[in-house]
Amino acid sequence: MGLSEVIKYIVDKPLELKEKNLLVNRSKEIKNLNNIIKYHPFGIFGISGETGIGKTTVLNFIKCENVFSKRITLTFRESVESILYDLLYNLSKGLEKDKKLSKLAKETKEWVIEEVSTVKGFSLGISLYGSANTNLQKSKTPRFNFFAAKEKLGELLRKIVSVKGKFALIIDELDKESKSDTLQIVDALKNELLFENIITIMTLPYSIYREYKFDRLRWNESGNLENIFKDIILLEELTDSDIKELLLRRIHKFMNIIPSESLDPIIEFADGNPRDVLWMLSKVIFENIEKDILKKEDTILTIKKITNEYLTELKLTPLQKKAFELLKDLTGNRDEFLTILQQNNIKRTTAYSILNTFIERKIIITKGTKLKLSGKYKFLNL
């Protein structure tokens, strides 16, 4: 068994129920979501966290006991309109085979197809004839019929509830949107979704969680997210030992060619993100695919090579470089970091601003009150 064999065990895709043996941690969050579906009468709930942290995976493990549910994965996300159409299409398509809902579902689906083909056909026409064609511009430009689509969605949702009782609508991939687009779409749909017996659970970009938290704590002047979301569940980074566990569950068969210590630098690189650890491990394996055994030095070499390649963008000033070297191997609180910088002749105000920049750019990451260098930067040669 060579290193190449490992590749298929570390593919990056959301886990499914049948792969439960590979899932680490997250039982608390999954239980929380199950309880939301079970006990809340209605509401929109978010699940947030950085990309690759496991949002889709967690959604896949939700159990909707005694609650009718549909999962929707959005794919057309060019605009608020296309998201709404995509949602409506996928939802109605998923209900086509349901005896009591199939009539309305089919009608709705056909309506979406018809609308979209008109709009698409028209915009294709414009691009074929060029925008200089004034006739075409003067004629009525068909648009996505946003209000009609909203109404159709409302109608379908009310029908579902009347036939099935409680309904859990699970929407994935909204986390890929920009914050403002996501808010716009959720705001536009809230009247349809905030309806007795409808529980909506959607993935959200991390930035929305931050803002939501500030709203709840009244730190935002014009807080309104709390009016939309009943709660947002944050998926935090996993611990290093969880990440190790995640790897071992996948590649335990290969411990004779991948000694545990060779995984440590990769785990450090990942900063608790499952996707990052899988990605870097597969990079490391590819880079060393001819070798019989993966040594720790090999691992470090690959990570250095890759991070140095990706991070040429970093462009630190000489003073920032100095600070970087000073803080590189430390873990501590803010004051301790500032003290170190000042003891090394960096002025207080400069030290403050450098530290803030590092935190903003995620060069230094925070865990509670503790700060440390992100594993992404640990292997960097400045």
Ligand X SMILES: Nc1ncnc2c1ncn2[C@@H]1O[C@H](COP(=O)(O)OP(=O)(O)O)[C@@H](O)[C@H]1O
Q: Whole-number minimum distance, CB 193 to Mg ion, in Å?
A: 20
Q: Which is nearer to ligand X, 54 or 265 (CB)?
A: 54
Is residue 331 within 8 A of residue 370, CB to CB? The reply is yes
CA separation for the pair 200, 162 (Å, rounded) = 16
Binding flag, residue 299, Mg ion (CB under 5 A): no
Residue 26 contacts which entry, ligand X, Mg ion, none (Cβ below 5-8 A, type-dependent): ligand X
Per DSSP, the residues of 95-110 read HTT-TTTHHHHHHHHH
Q: Which is nearer to Mg ion, 25 or 56 (CB)?
A: 56
CB of residue 2 to ligand X, shortest distance in Å:
23
* Amino acid present at 90: N
- Indicate the residue type of 66: N
Q: Which of 9, 14, 106, 308 binds ligand X (CB under 6 A)?
A: 14
Reference 136, options 120, 122, 118; nearest CA is 122
Q: Is 53 in the site for ligand X (CB under 6 A)?
A: yes
54 is an interface residue for ligand X by CB under 6 A:
yes
How far is 146 from 286, CA to CA, in rounded Å?
48
Q: Which residues share a beta bridge with 203? A: 47
Measured CA to CA, the distance from residue 290 to residue 267 in angstroms comes to 22
Of the candidate spans 46-54, 78-86, 208-216, 338-346, the one that interacts with ligand X by CB under 6 A turns out to be 46-54
Is residue 49 within 8 A of residue 274, CB to CB? The reply is no
Q: Give which of ligand X, Mg ion, none residue 12 binds (C-beta under 5 to 8 Å, depending on kind).
A: ligand X
State the binding string over 25-64 for Mg ion (x if CB under 5 A, else -).
------------------------------xx--------
User: Of 37 and 238, which CB lies nearer to ligand X in the complex structure?
Assistant: 238
Binder of ligand X out of 6, 15, 104, 373 (CB under 6 A)? 15
CB 371, min distance to Mg ion, A: 28
How many residues sit in the footprint of Mg ion (CB under 5 A)? 2
Query: Could you count the other beta carbons within 10 Å of the beta carbon of residue 270?
Result: 25
Nearer Cβ to Mg ion, position 17 or 330? 17
Q: Binding of ligand X at residue 262 (CB under 6 A)?
A: no
Nearer to Mg ion, 60 or 307 (CB): 60
User: Is 55 a binder of ligand X (CB under 6 A)?
Assistant: yes
Residue 379 Cα to chain centre, angstroms: 26
| 219 to 248: interface string for ligand X, x by CB under 6 A | ---------------------------x--
Residue 167: both structure tokens together:
């309904």
Q: 206, exposed or middle or buried, with CB in 10 Å at 0-12, 13-18, 19+?
A: middle
**Residue 278 interacts with ligand X (CB under 6 A)?**
yes
Cβ at position 10, least distance to Mg ion in Å: 18
Which amino acid is it at 134? Answer: T
For the CA atoms of 28, 30, 35, 41, the dihedral, rounded to the nearest 10 degrees, stands at 130
How do beta strands 167-172 and 68-73 pair? parallel
Residues in contact with ligand X by the rule CB under 6 A: 12-15, 22-26, 49, 51-57, 246, 274-275, 278
